[in-house]
């Protein structure tokens, strides 16, 4: 399987059996239309966390990585600029409602 759209109706999906990863998995499945969560249920890391991981140096953040020799390539700088834009930040907030936070 290479895309969510390839799942057949009635397919079984496994999720991690621990509260932090299980909740994240459910949020991601809901964000991709595979299930519906009841409004007001679950946790949103941005507002419900007791402690938040730092965004700088967070190994779980979404980053653009490149070889050191390519770091100054114009195309890479354009990609990073587009990725770290307010438009992408707004999309993450709208689509994932705090379940995924920008790391920049």
For residue 29, pLDDT beyond 80: yes
Q: Integer distance in angstroms from the first to the last C-alpha of the chain?
A: 31
Q: Which of 28-32, 55-59, 97-101 has the lowest mean pLDDT?
A: 55-59
Quick: pLDDT tens for 37-95: 887 666 666 677 767 767 676 667 778 889 999 999 999 999 999 999 999 999 988 98
CA distance 66 to 83: 14
Three-state DSSP at 2 gives coil
Q: Where are the domains of the chain?
A: 1-42, 46-104
Q: Could you tell me where the beta strands, DSSP code E, fall in 4-64?
A: none
pLDDT confidence of residue 19: 72
Dihedral angle sign, alpha carbons of residues 41, 46, 51, 52: positive
């Amino acid at each position: 399987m290479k895309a969510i759209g390839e799942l057949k109706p009635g397919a079984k999906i496994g999720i991690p059996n621990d509260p932090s990863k299980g909740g994240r998995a459910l949020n991601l499945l809901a964000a991709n239309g595979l299930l519906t969560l009841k409004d007001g249920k679950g946790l949103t890391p941005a507002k419900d966390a007791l402690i938040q991981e730092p965004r700088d140096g967070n190994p779980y953040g979404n980053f653009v990585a490149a070889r050191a020799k390519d770091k100054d390539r114009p195309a890479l700088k354009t990609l990073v600029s587009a990725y770290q834009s307010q438009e992408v930040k707004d999309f993450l907030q709208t689509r994932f409602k705090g379940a995924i936070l920008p790391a920049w």
